[in-house]
Amino acid sequence: MRTTSEKKVSFEGSQNDLDSQTVDVMPHKLLVEAYTIEEIKKATEEFDSSNLIEDYVFHSRISGKNLAIKKIETCSISKIDYGLFNDAIHHHPNIIRLLGTCVIVLQRVLIHYWCLNTLNGSLKDWLHGGLAMKNQFITSCDIFLTWNQRLRICLDVATALQFMHHIIDPAYVHRNIKSRNIFLDEEFKAKVGQTPITDEVALSEKIKVIPESENAEELKEWINSALGENYSFDAVVTLANLARACVEEEPSLRPNTGEIVEKLSRLVEELLEGEEQLIISESSCKPLFKAEATSTTM
């Protein structure tokens, strides 16, 4: 996409300096758009609060396209890990694309392609009720993610991490994976946000105390009550064990992303098989009822 600025920024070189537009971790050259401050202010309506999505992330429209604009403070620029800004990871279906950049006094702005459902906030909002506070985007807060959607979102995020850890060369560690940095598209496919600030993030103590037993009542305390009984208890046990394994004190005991993707893929496959069986069961029952009704009238 071209803008009125008609400029491209090249992330390539041997220096780790964003303002000189070169970094040392890029295996390939990546061109992104250079936007003017006038374009950004117009697109965000002077960073109006009505366009605020999450913290410093704003919804905007440039040249007819919906974009997400994130403001980065000067003190955080040195913490950005530019390993995500390469042409391989740039087009992964579960990672939000970086489209452009803009320099503002004391700030840097990163422009990303848009996920339609980010109008409703991040995955954190969907899980913890933040949508109800963004009433300019929704008409009702009576919405939540189903068990099936949650399971597929887990797989999407794990697939993105597997790509970063084991497929691209050199490998990349995001360091900032959390629900507020995960967005959903119109089909509720998860995309990891490219906000790679390298702050240290402590392991969640809450996850580490997931009960080791497979007692149904204990595990139900960890499940969103809005789901009712619409989930597989066996899948819940598998996910609980997987989550606990991921935060083992001893790193060698933690599963790698490939193993996680394999287990989640198996759960999703079982989910699909269950849905197919339900459809077959429903379709095969209907003719039988008809035949029974016909024989009775005869």
Name the nearest CA neighbour of 73 among 109, 38, 113: 109
Entry pTM: 0.70
Q: For residue 282, how many other CB atoms are within 10 A of its CB?
A: 9
Q: What pLDDT was estimated at residue 141? A: 42
Tokens 């991490």 belong to: 161
Q: pLDDT tens, 57-103?
A: 788 888 887 788 887 766 665 565 555 555 545 578 898 877 777 77
Residue by residue, pLDDT tens for the chain (298 residues) are 334 444 554 444 333 333 333 333 334 455 567 788 888 889 889 888 888 876 777 888 888 877 888 877 666 655 655 555 555 455 788 988 777 777 766 566 666 655 544 445 578 878 876 554 444 444 444 457 888 999 999 999 999 999 988 888 777 778 778 888 888 887 888 988 765 555 444 545 555 555 565 666 777 777 777 777 778 888 888 888 898 898 888 989 999 999 999 999 999 999 888 776 656 655 554 544 444 444 444 4
Give me the long-range contacts of 273-281 (CB less than 8 A, separation at least 24): 274/232, 275/148
Q: What pLDDT was estimated at residue 250? A: 92
Q: For residue 98, how many other CB atoms are within 10 A of its CB?
A: 21
- The answer to whether 190 and 130 have CB atoms below 8 angstroms apart is no
With residue 74 as reference, give the H or E element that holds it: helix 74-77
